[in-house]
Each structure stands twice: as C-alpha cells, then as structure tokens.
Copies of this chain bind each other. A is one copy, B any other.
Amino acid sequence: MKAATSVRVAAVGCGYWGPNVIRNLDAVPGFELCCVCDVDPQRLRPVAARYPAARSTTDIEDIYNDSAVDAIYLSTPVSTHYALVRRALESGKHVLVEKPLATTVDEAEDLARLAAVNKRTLMVGHTFVFSPPVRKIKELIDAGLIGPIYYVETTRVNLGLFQKDVSVLWDLGPHDLSILNYWLDEVPVQVSSRGRSFHDEALEDVAFMTLEFPSGILAQVQLSWLAPSKLRRTSIVGRQRMVVYDDLEPVEKIKVYDRGIDRQPASFGEFQLTYRSGDILSPHLDTTEPLFTECAHFLECIQSGREPDTSPRTGVDIVRVLQAAERSLRFDGAPQLVYDDVAAIERTP
C-alpha cells in the first residue's frame, strides 16, 4: 500500500544496471514505481512483466509529458545523460542519473545550474557513497580516529568488462573520485594520469592517476580492465590509524590498524621515530544494499529539499577531475590543474 503522498518515480533504462535500480525503487516505502521505460522493447518486456502496476513505454517523452510523474531515475548510456537530464529538469522532474553526471564540465555545470533554478533535486548515482563500508570509514574519519590523513591508495582492477563508449578512466574512475570526495570533503587541486589502450585504438583499458588535494593529501588510483584477478582495495593512511578497505572480502571489508609512527624530539634538535602497533579492528557493517540506501536518500532529498550527498556540485567536481586527468593522459602524464584559476579553488567547499 502506497500512501497518498507517495512520490511517483519513473525508471528509464532497462539494460545491465536498470533492473537493479527498478527492484530497489519498488522496494523503498514512499516511492511509487509508476513507469518503466527503454527504447528497446526487448529489454523492456521482462521488466514490464515483472512490475505490472507500472506503465511501460519505449518513448521517454511520455514520461516527461506525464505531470503525474514526480521523479526520474536515469540508467542510460553516459553519452545521453546531458540531453535526458536537461529535458527531465525542464519538465519539472526530480532526477537521479547514473555516474558520471555528464561528459564535460560545461554540460555538468549547466545541469547543476538548471536544477538550482528549477528547484528540483538533482542527484548523481555514485552508489559507493551509499555502501556500508564507505560510510563506516567516513564515520571513522569524522570522529577523528584516523587523524590527519597522509595519503590514500586505491586499486580497482579486473579482467573486463570493456565499455564501448568510455575508457576505464571514465568508467571506473568516478567510483574512486566520488569516494575520495565523500571522505575527504575536498576537490583535488592537481591531477596527473598515465594510461594505455592495449585492446582498443582509442579508449584506455589501463590508467593510473595521482591526485593532490588542497590539504596536502596525496591519492593514487589504479584502474584496469586488464588484470589477472579482481581487486577492490583501498588503503587510507593517517597519523593516528590506518585503514584497509577490501570490498571483495565477504566479512572483514574494513580493517582499522591502530598503527603509526610518532616523531619525538631527541637531543640536539634531532627527531626520533617510534613505531606504534596496536590492535586491528574489523567493525561490524550493516548489510543494506547500497542501491536501496541511494534510492531512499533520493526520496528523502525530494521530500525535504535537502542537498543530496552526491549533489550536482559533487557531480560537476568529479567530471572536472576526470577532464583534467584526460588532459594529462593526452600530454604523457604532465600534471594538470583541476581548476583553471585560483579563485575557483577558493570557491571549493
């Protein structure tokens, strides 16, 4: 039973990821899945059969034009994001769009502006921000348990699946950039990146990225579709504690190491380093599906008007970093400023 105040949501895109989105939209109390849409009738059919209460259509214009639809979740190819989100916002809908927000900073900023002007919720589907281990680490950081962070290293590699329209940088990179943005609450100043296209003429299938943050934090990101075994491993090294986050571990996804190095004054202005080694804690994590939390957060933002954790601002920033990394790739790894002018950096939250 949906309450009279249910938010009516349409799901667009029934490809690889779409069915997961639809299952979760359907499961969030307060959402009413009113419509499912895909240009391909073959992809649409099984979904329509499974959710008989939702109207099905191959024409997204039906959704834009239906004033009873409050919100749209777009799971469509990256290249379509800008046009579809724009039309949705113009039609007065709230929008949740898969990552990345758009393919250029200009387009991303245009969408952010439009959402603000139209007073609609615009949220980007950076799903990892809603995953229990990523949120638990955010808690640890905010509680000061890690201490000032020195550096973050992250590895996101596997064999395949090659994308046809985006490189590994634009495919896997948004995950790490959104996680870093969420944890560190700042946007990199500078990025350098190297990559290579071993199996495709144009699109990199392996890329390395080094990011420098305003606070001095360094981050290293390794992305590959060409790796012998799947790895999803991130180390966060702080002054007080160090964290290893391995998303493939079935149980102990996070380990908090009470380890560090203390620098103590010795005689004659010299310093002495002492190593500290304590317990290792693997905190219990709740098992809510990140996509459910994301959908519930979308609903809450629509209803309360609050800014989503994966706001348009975040979406723009991530596209900005990807664009700078792309430039660095073109210039053999030469470091690139993320913002062109200092003023812009100062505007960074």
Q: How many residues of A contact B (CB 8 A)?
A: 59
* A196 close to B151 (CB less than 8 A): yes
Chain B residue with minimal CB distance to A332?
A: B335
Instruction: Give residues of chain A (311-341) contacting chain B, Cβ–Cβ below 8 Å.
Output: 332-335
A279 and B277 contacting across the interface, CB-CB below 8 Å: no
Q: Which residues of B contact A206 (CB under 8 A)?
A: 150-151, 218, 237
Chain B CB within 8 A of A283 CB: yes
For residue A50, which residue of chain B has the nearest CB? B50
In Å, the complex CA distance between A342 and B224 comes to 31
Out of B243, B255, B284, name the residue touching A277 (CB < 8 Å).
Answer: B284
Residue positions of A touching B, CB distance < 8 A: 50, 150-151, 153, 159-160, 162, 190, 192, 194-196, 198-200, 206, 208, 210, 212, 216, 218, 220, 222, 224, 226-230, 235, 237, 242-244, 248, 250-252, 255, 257-259, 261, 263, 271, 273, 275, 277-284, 332-335
Question: In angstroms, how far is the closest chain B Cβ from the Cβ of A271?
Answer: 8
Point out the residues of chain B lying under 8 angstroms from A261, CB to CB. Answer: 159-160, 162, 199, 226
Which B residues touch A153, using CB under 8 A?
222, 224
Apart from A151-B224, A190-B332, A333-B333: 18 A-B pairs, beta carbons within 8 A: A150-B196, A151-B198, A160-B261, A162-B261, A194-B210, A194-B212, A194-B218, A199-B273, A226-B237, A227-B242, A228-B237, A229-B244, A248-B250, A280-B281, A280-B282, A280-B284, A281-B282, A334-B334
